[in-house]
Chain A
Amino acid sequence: MIASFLIQTLNGLASASLLFLVALGLTLIFGVTRVVNFAHGSFFMLGAYLAVSFHGFVGGGVLGFWGGALFAALAVGVVGAVAELTILRRIYRAPELLQLITTFGIVLLLKDVVLYTWGPEDILGPRAPGLTGAVWIFGKPFPQYDLLLLVLGPLIGLSVWLLLTRTDWGTRVRAATEDRDMAAALGINQALMFTGVFALGALLAGLAGALALPREPANHNMDLTIIADVFVVTVVGGLGSLPGAYVAAVIISVVKAWCIGIGDVRLFGMAFSFSKLTLVAEFIVMAIVLIIRPWGLFGTPQSPQRVSAASILPMPVPDVKRLWPLALVALALLMLPLLADRFTVVLATDIIIFALFAASLGLIMGLGGMASFGHAAYFGAGAYAAAVAFKAGAPFFVAVPAGVAFAGALAMLFGWFCVRLSGVSLAMLTLAFAQITWAIAFQWDSVTGGSNGLVGIWPPDLLSGKTAYYFATLLLAGAAILIIWRSAHAPLGYLMRAARDSRIRAEAVGVDVRIIQWRAIILAGAAAGLAGALYVFSKGSLSPDSLSIPRSVDALAMVLIGGVQTLVGPVVGAAVFMLLQDWIVRATPYWHAVLGITLILITIIFPQGIVGTLRQWRQRREGGP
């Protein structure tokens, strides 16, 4: 018992080393540039694939493995420098949310680069020469390589720490981490330093990817799997803390390893499979830390984030005379089934569902200033709850409200934690929540159908026709969108905007900011749940993809394409996004790359989105500033 416990602890420490290297790079980059680099997991994945290719080119042996690791690290470092010079450099002064989305554009782009270069299959990597055996610890075997890994992580961490504390360059980096403008006023060339730090951070991720090969094959899920873990580590350890990154990586990895080690246990007469609970364990660790220290174990409390007033346009009060385009659109939507073919009606149903999904995200993002990278959790929760209820015998008219209620309840749970954070930490937390929700749907075979999902979920005969279902969707989703729009000009909306623009001032006049934000998250979660429930009955089937991170980012893209700070924006964005996707997917298999480049360009060139840009033009033409 003790022996297996010890072995699992060592196992956890070996995993922690890899996690730590990636988290360390992320933290270094964040410290100096204040950008949370979503693409850090992609650098990790790229490192693994590059090392595989190097090995294939050079052959086995010491050179093949260690040379490959070195090559992968350096090459990914160069990729990082190029990304910094061409993309990141342009967004340092942009709001945090846009920065995150830009770097997610890089994630999508690199995903397709890897797909194009290495194909869709998993590739088994080389094993470390001379370290393929096991050592015996208390009579149990433990891989030699893992023992090396266990030492290597802290060793590399120590060298980075020495680099930062014992060299002039490191001293300047620490100075710029604290106050980059003052560092510039002392003659430090920030641009050069940012490129250097970004390259170093990318190099560490690439190295970790190459070193991961003996433990797992190079595969396409490496990027998002590791980045979700790294975000958990960063939230738990405290953003910007080097020792925090290591301690948190150890805690998370060791707890996970213990869960696997415990395996199946009978408690109170019920069978528990701890090995399937690794993600729940991760969630519980994170939750406990956030309750006790919302800023992480080694972090410092965040100062309230200030939104610069210039970047937010005041929201105009709706003018009845200007609502005629809306009436026209409503009329056109009612007439659509008379004029269009079956395919168009189905596409229009999808667009309306996603318009609701995007509008619900737009509510908390635009009015609340809370970036969510895991909004698909509520969409998927609504879809799964409705589907499971239906499978259990509930009719459509009960299953859909059940989906809404379940998504609302989930939002209540996640939201309780979310309102304790803000800015990038919040974005990372929402992503981690969504990844955990996804993993539960993926692993809980008996209820969710696991990776196969659920099939045969159809609406009652009354709504079984595509046109009838279209009208039902239009009615339900349309009503929900109108409620969201209305709430923007109701007290909830006013208070959300007040809290977004100045949390301190809002609190000083008696607004309970957390309660307001919590309510908004619950409303948005329930609305997203309705979208999910409508979606599952329109498709008839459901898979874990419906709550994956890319689905969350679809919603972000829709909101962004339309414009964050407008009410109509997310809805317009959803329509444009769905039409574009429909069109591009037919033309090329590399939809991710197209979307990624689109996101990068939008965030750099049109940060206001379509509706925001149009409104800016109109205001300029009407003689505004």
Chain B
Amino acid sequence: MSLLEIRELDAWYGRAQILFGVSLAVEAGEAAVLIGRNGAGKSTLMKCIVGLEAERRGTIHFDGADLIAESTHRIARRGMGYVPEDRRIFMDLTVAENLAVGRLPSNGGAAWTPEAAFELFPPLAAMRDRKGGQMSGGEQQMLTIARALMGNPRFLLLDEPSEGLAPVIVEVIAGAIAKLKARGVGLLLSEQNLHFARAVADRAFVLDRGHIRFAGTLAELDADAALKEQYLAI
């Protein structure tokens, strides 16, 4: 069985259904990308996996357990890291404190330390005592990934990690994703930027109005002009 395996997932906000029978699987050490327009349900799918906000039905198998009825903090403690779209840095807390909040005991394997995170994101090392609210968007994006790593995740959800960032920061983040894959961490990213997706992901899922319309490699996606036209063109 795959590290993360979602089957027939439905989700609602109030009476509005957002996801319809979504199924997908991601292996350890693999990066998969969710592609789709704004409002397709990418962020909702990620929130469903960590048990936030939306009402959900279906199965979400992760490392031998079903997350569908689990509470959010237990899901995190099972090794599911979450990097939300709007980053949600704790603005009043310093970089060091943000990292401390994310710290969880390691479920086997070497535990992440702030120093190891700073190696991955060198610009953060110089701003340990700076408050989250005083950082640039790119710095916040690095911090939110570093914060998720402090929980020693076996799987990482990254919601639009490259959105609105300078190319040099996007490169740092792409490098970090490659290193995490090499350590055996599974990743699911959502992206609107196909270029970034090609650089980091092995496989792609196309999400459109709550339905999975395509599952395959990025090369297969690139070959299917009609599919791209129908679901991804603006």
Residues in A lying within 8 Å of B, measured CB to CB: 168, 171-172, 174-175, 178-179, 181-190, 308-310, 625
Contact = CB atoms under 8 A, between A and B. Distances in A.
B97 interface: yes
B32 interface: no
Nearest to A182: B88
A175 B101 contact: yes
B150 to A, nearest CB: 8
B23 interface: no
A168 B102 CA distance: 11
Contacts of A171: 93, 97, 100-101
B104 A179 contact: no
Max chain B C-beta neighbours (<10 A), residue from A168, A188, A308, A309: A188
A308 B15 CA distance: 12
A515 B143 CA distance: 45
B92 to A, nearest CB: 6
B29 to A, nearest CB: 23
A537 B25 CA distance: 75
Contacts of A184: 52, 71-73, 76
Given A181-B52, A309-B14, A188 B91 contact: no
Nearest to B105: A187
A187 B77 contact: yes
Given A178-B91, A186-B101, 12 more contacts: A168-B100, A171-B93, A171-B101, A181-B72, A182-B84, A182-B90, A184-B72, A185-B72, A185-B75, A186-B104, A189-B73, A310-B14
Contacts, number: 64
Max chain B C-beta neighbours (<10 A), residue from A171, A181, A182: A182
B interface bracket (residues with beta carbon within 8 Å of A): 20 to 34
B53 interface: yes
Interface string B157-170: 00000000000000
B14 A308 contact: yes
Contacts of B84: 182, 185
B159 to A, nearest CB: 11
A190 B93 CA distance: 18
B49 to A, nearest CB: 10
A578 B125 CA distance: 67
B147 interface: yes
A75 to B, nearest CB: 30
A74 to B, nearest CB: 28
B151 interface: yes
Contacts of B14: 308-310
B149 to A, nearest CB: 11
Interface in B37-58: 50, 52-53
Nearest to A170: B97
Contacts of A309: 14
Given A184-B76, A187-B104, A310-B14, A178 B92 contact: yes
B101 A185 contact: no
A186 B97 contact: no
B60 to A, nearest CB: 15
B187 interface: no
B73 A187 contact: yes
A175 B100 CA distance: 10
Contacts of B151: 186-187
B73 A310 contact: no
A190 B73 CA distance: 8
Contacts of A179: 88, 90
B15 A175 contact: no
B62 interface: no
B155 interface: no
B211 to A, nearest CB: 22
Contact of B82 (A168, A178, A185): A185
A190 B75 CA distance: 13
Nearest to B15: A625
A15 B12 CA distance: 52
B118 to A, nearest CB: 19
Interface in B68-100: 71-73, 75-77, 82, 84, 88, 90-93, 97-98, 100
A297 B108 CA distance: 49
Nearest to A177: B92
Interface in B202-225: none
A505 B62 CA distance: 42
A188 B101 contact: yes
A185 B52 contact: yes
B148 interface: yes
Contacts of A174: 90, 92-93, 97
A184 B151 CA distance: 12
Nearest to B14: A310
B76 A187 contact: yes
A282 to B, nearest CB: 31
Contacts of A182: 84, 88, 90
A324 B75 CA distance: 55
Contacts of A189: 73
A310 B91 CA distance: 30
B141 to A, nearest CB: 15
Contacts of B75: 185
B107 to A, nearest CB: 11
A379 to B, nearest CB: 37
B13 to A, nearest CB: 8
Contacts of B71: 184
Given A171-B93, A308-B14, A183 B101 contact: yes
Given A171-B97, A183-B101, A186-B102, A178 B90 contact: yes
Contacts of B98: 175
Max chain A C-beta neighbours (<10 A), residue from B52, B88, B91: B88
A186 B147 contact: yes
A183 B76 CA distance: 10
